[in-house]
Structure 1
Amino acid sequence: MKSLQLLSFLLLSCIIISANAYEGKKKEALGSQSEHTTAKKYQRNLETKFRLYTDTAEGSCRVFVNQLETLDKCGFNASLPLVMIVHGWSVDGILESWIWKMAAALKSQHNQMNVIVADWLTLAHQHYPIAVQNTRTTGQEIAQFVEWLEESVQFSRSNVHLIGYSLGAHVSGFAGSFINGTKKIGRITGLDPAGPLFEGMSPTDRLSPDDANFVDAIHTFTKQHMGLSVGIKQPVAHFDFYPNGGTFQPGCHILHVYNHIAQYGINGIAQTVKCAHERSVHLFIDSLLHKDKQSTAYWCNDINTFNKGLCLNCRKNRCNTLGYNIREERLPKSRRLFLKTRARMPFKVYHYQFKIHIVNEIEGKQIEPAFTMSLAGTKEDAKKLHIPLVEGITGNKTYSFLITLDTDIGDIIMVKLKWEGTPVWENIWDTFQTIIPWRKGTRRPGLIVKAIRVKAGETQHKYTFCPQSIDNIHLHPSQEKTFVSCEDHFQRNI
C-alpha cells in the first residue's frame, strides 16, 4: 500500500505544487464558455497544429485552417471518417510516442479513415492550472477546424471521432460543446480523463455525455492521494469503463520500475510513474490490434460486487466492448462497467462467476480454509486456480466469487476442488474431531460441497457440477474432489 501511495504521489506532486501556486486563478481557469466565444471565426494563427498522419518518412502533414490546398497536399479524403487524437498535459513539450502508435494502429486496422493529431503542445506545456485553462481554447480551435471542414469540403461533423487522453479528454469535450449549431460531433472517447480541477465540476466544465452523439471513457488511475487522483473518478460518458476497478492497474506497481528501466532506460522511471494513467491508451490500442480478443465489461454498482461475480449479465445491454469497437448506444444516465485485464497486451481475460454451495458440519465454528480449483475445458485446462473467498465458511451457505482466465478454455466439462490443507490445518481438524462430537456414526465431520454453478461472462453459458461420487461427498484438509456436469434441479439464477 505504501508503494502504491508513493507512485501516485510522484505523479501528483508537480500538479499539487503548481495548483497551489495558481490557486487564485482557479475560477478563471474554469470560467464559463461565454468568456471564450469572442475569438474571430477561423482565425489563421491557431495555437493548435493539425497533423494528418501519413505513411511517409515525415509521419505527418500539417493542415492549415483556411488553406484548402493543404487538404489536397496532405491527402485528406472528405468522404472518409475523421479520427482526431488529442494528447494531454505535457511536462517536456514533446509529443509522446503512444500518439504515433495509436495513429498507426488506427490506419493499419481501418485504412479507410483520416487520422489527425491535434498538437496543442504550446498550450499544454505550462503549469498545470494554466494548461487546464487552455483546454477551453484548444477545444474551441478544434471546433473551428471541424466547422471549416464542413463549410469548405462538405465534411459531416457526425463522422468525427475525438480521442482525448488526460487533459485531452476535456479538450475534446469542450470541442464538442463549442461547435456551432444543433448537430453534435459523432463520438468522443476519453482516455483516463484528468482529475485535478475537474473532479466534481459541472458537466459544462468537463467532458460529459452531452458533448457528442456518443461518449465513452476508460478510467485507469483514480487512486486518490491527498484528496486528488490523476484520473477523474466520476462518470463522464454514456459508458464509463473501470478496468480492474479503475484505481490502479496490474503491472504498474512501483516494484516494476526495474522492468521499465530495462525496457526504456532511464526514462523507465517516468514510465512507472505514468503507467496506470497511460494504461487507458494501451487498452484502446489493444482493441485495434487484437480484433479476435476484444475485452468485455459488465454493468455493476461497484468493484466489490463485481469481484463476487454478481454482474456478468449481458441481458438488456448490460455488457459492452471496451475500446474502438464499442457498441454505441445513447443512455439517459451514465453506465459504469467493470472488467479485469492482464498486465500486458493482449489485455483480454475471460470472466467466470462461481457459486459453491458448502455445508460446514462443525456447528457454530467458522473456518477459513484455502481452496484451489482446476478446470477441464474442451479446448484446454486451467490448473491450481486460487479461490478468493472473502469470508469464513459457516453453516449451510452459497459462496460467490469471480475467477478470470488468460486463455479461452472452451466449455467447462469438469471441476476439481481441493482443500489446500497443511499439517497445522490437519492438527486443528483432528482437534475439532476430538473436542466436538459428531452425530452420524463414526464418520469424520467435514465440509460438504453440494454443487458448483458456473456462469461464463463472455459466452453467457451456464454450467452445473455435482460430486462425481455421491458416496464420498465430504471434503477434508489436503483432499481433492471431482465434480462432473449434472442437471440443475433447483434452476437457480446465476
Structure 2
Amino acid sequence: KKIYLLEMRASVICYRVQSSASVEVYLIFQLPLSANEMFSLQSLETKFQLYTDTTGEACQILFNQLETLDKCSFNASLPLVMIVHGWSVDGILESWIWKMAAALKSHHKQINVIIADWLTFAHQHYPIAVQNTRYIGQEIADFVEWLEESIQFSRSNVHLIGYSLGAHVSGFAGSYISGTNKIGRITGLDPAGPLFEGMSPTDRLSPDDANFVDAIHTFTKQHMGLSVGIKQPVAHFDFYPNGGTFQPGCHFMHVYNHIAQYGITGITQTVKCAHERSVHLFIDSLLHEDKQSTAYWCNDINTFDKGLCLSCRKNRCNTLGYNIREERLPKSRKLFLKTRARMPFKVYHYQFKIHFINEIQGKKIDPSFTMSLTGTKEDAKNLPITLVEGINGNKTYSFLITLDTDIGELLMIKFKWEGTAVWKNIWDKFQTIIPWTKGTHRPGLIVKTIRVKAGETQQKMTFCSQSFDNIHLYPDQEKTFVRCEDRFRHQERK
C-alpha cells in the first residue's frame, strides 16, 4: 500500500491510500492528536539510505525503527551529511550521487553519509515536483528530529547537500524543524530557478534555514525569462563560478565530445552540463585537498574580469566547496571565481595593471598583446591579452589573467604587441603624416610599469622595463619587464 498526505489543516489531516488493486481510499482524521503524532504514524515517502564505503552500497534506515540504525551501523557520535537529489526525468538516482557519497567518505571517513531518495515525488511534472519539495522537506525535518529524540543526535551536526530542487527541499527541512536551534549547514548546488526566482525567503532556500548556508550557482543563463538555476543570492556565501551563467566545456559545440564519452545520452549530458557542474565543483573540493578553489567578493562578473576584486582583507574571499570557512553574515555575499573546464577545476587568479601612454594624441588604438610569465616553479607562455577599451592618452588599464598551473613567485614578464603587417603599415603611415619632435624616437606606446597582484597568495609586485633607455613599444615588438621597487604601493588601498 502507498499512503499519500494530501492536506493538513489546523484540525484535519487527509490521506489517500492506494492499494495494489488501484483502489483508492481517502482517510480523514479529526485531530485530537497533535500534528507531530500524526506524522509519526505516517510511513515516510523518502528513503533514507546510509552509504557505506566498504561495499559501495546503501542500507535503508526506516523512520521510527531504531533497529535499522543498528543494522546499518549508524554512528551517533559522528556528523551526518545528507545528499538530497533534485527533479528526476527518468526516475533513477543519478550517478553523481554515488560519486559524491564516495568522495565524502574518502575525504572524511569519520562521518555518516545518507542519501535521501525522494524519487517517487521528484519523478513528476516539474510544477508538481516543486509542490512536493515542501512535503519532502518536512519528512527530512521529521527524520532529524527522530534521531534527536531517539539517540540524542544533535541537529547541529547535520549537513544537508541539496542539488537543484533538492536545495530547496533542504531549505524547507531547515525551516520546518521545530525549536529554536537550527541544522548545522545547508549547501545548495545550483538551486532550481523556475518557480523559486524572486520568491520570498520562506518559499525557497535562504540563509535563515541553517546555522550556515552556502550555495554554488552554475547555470543562471536566462532563456525566455527563465534560468535553470536561481540567480539571486540564497545563502550566507553565494559562489558564481565564471559568472554563474554558464560553464566552460558545456557549450553545444562540445556535444560530440559528450556523445563519444556517454553515447547517445551525451545529448542530455550537454543540456545539463552547466547545471550539474555545481555538483562536480563540490566533489572536486573533496578529492583535491591541495587544489582548493578560492573565490572573491565582487559586485558583478564585469568588475571581476578587470581583476579589481582579488582582495582577501576582511574575509572578502573564501574557499568554494566542502572546506569553506563558515561565517554567518548579516547579508548575502556574492563571490566570483574562474575555473577550468574539467577536474581539477582550480585556476590561479592574477590582476595586471599596465600604465600606457599613447603618444599619438587623439587617436585611440585597439592593439592585441600577449604575455609570457616566468615563475620560480613554471613558465606560462603566450597568454592573450584583450583590453576592454582602446588605449588613449595616459591611463592605467586593469585586467584579469588566470593560469591553470602554479608558476610559483612571478619573476619576469615578457610583453609583446602582436602587430600584423597591416598594423605595421598603419603605424608607419601615422609616422609619415604626424611629425614628432621629442628627441629622436618615433611615436609609439610607452609602457611605464606593470603591477601584479596574485589572488591566491595576495602578493603584490611591480615590474619595470629591463631597458631604462627604451621604454617604447611598437607593433610586433616584445619588451622584458623585471621586478622593481613599487613606487605606487602607497597609493593603493585595495
TM range (shorter): over 0.9
Structure 2 residue matching 1:107: 3-state secondary structure:
helix
CA distance in 1, matches of 2:56, 2:197: 38
How far apart are residue 269 of structure 1 and its match? 0.7
CA distance in 1, matches of 2:190, 2:255: 21
Aligned residue in 1 for 2:366: 368
How far apart are residue 438 of structure 1 and its match? 1.4
1:117-156: CA deviations, max 9, x gaps? 0000000000000000000000000000000000000000
Identity %: 83
State which of 370, 373, 387 in structure 2 corresponds to 1:389.
387
Aligned residue in 1 for 2:338: 340
State which of 409, 412, 426 in structure 1 corresponds to 2:410.
412
Normalised by the size of structure 1, how large is the TM-score?
0.92
Equivalent pairs, count: 465
Distance 1:35 1:421, change over 3 A: farther
Instruction: Give the structure with the higher percent strand.
Output: 2
Structure 2 stretches of 5 or more lacking a match? 1-5, 15-33
Aligned residue in 2 for 1:400: 398
1:122-271 matched pairs, under 5 angstroms: 122-271=120-269
Aligned residue in 1 for 2:106: 108
Amino acid at match of 1:311: C
State which of 298, 308, 311 in structure 2 corresponds to 1:310.
308
CA distance in 1, matches of 2:130, 2:302: 33
Contact 2:56/2:102, CA 8 A, preserved across alignment:
no
Aligned residue in 2 for 1:482: 480
How far apart are residue 436 of structure 1 and its match? 1.2
How far apart are residue 104 of structure 1 and its match? 0.2
Amino acid at match of 1:246: G
Distance 1:35 1:234, change over 3 A: farther
1:45-124 matched pairs, under 5 angstroms: 45-57=43-55, 59-124=57-122
User: Whose radius of gyration is greater, 1 or 2?
Assistant: 2
Runs (4 or more) in structure 1 with deviation over 6 Å come to 34-37
How far apart are residue 441 of structure 1 and its match? 3.8
Aligned residue in 1 for 2:420: 422
Contact 1:42/1:148, CA 8 A, preserved across alignment:
no
Contact 1:467/1:481, CA 8 A, preserved across alignment:
yes
Contact 1:105/1:288, CA 8 A, preserved across alignment:
yes
Relative contact order higher in (CA < 8 Å, ≥ 6 apart): 1
CA distance in 1, matches of 2:262, 2:451: 45
CA distance in 1, matches of 2:55, 2:375: 48
Contact 1:370/1:420, CA 8 A, preserved across alignment:
yes
CA distance in 2, matches of 1:349, 1:490: 27
CA distance in 1, matches of 2:56, 2:317: 41
Judge which range, 430-439 or 107-116, deviates more: 430-439
Q: 2:311 matched to 1:320?
A: no
Distance 1:116 1:212, change over 3 A: same
Aligned residue in 1 for 2:435: 437
How far apart are residue 481 of structure 1 and its match? 0.2
Judge which range, 209-218 or 382-391, deviates more: 382-391
Distance 1:268 1:489, change over 3 A: same
Instruction: Give the structure with the higher percent helix.
Output: 1
Amino acid at match of 1:143: A
CA distance in 1, matches of 2:445, 2:104: 54
How far apart are residue 182 of structure 1 and its match? 0.3
CA distance in 2, matches of 1:352, 1:35: 59
Amino acid at match of 1:46: L
CA distance in 2, matches of 1:89, 1:274: 12
Distance 1:198 1:57, change over 3 A: same
Structure 1 stretches of 5 or more lacking a match? 1-27
Distance 1:349 1:204, change over 3 A: same
1:169-195: CA deviations, max 9, x gaps? 000000000000000000000000000
For the aligned residue pairs, the C-alpha RMSD in angstroms reads 1.8
Amino acid at match of 1:433: Q
Amino acid at match of 1:200: G
Aligned residue in 2 for 1:451: 449
Amino acid at match of 2:368: A
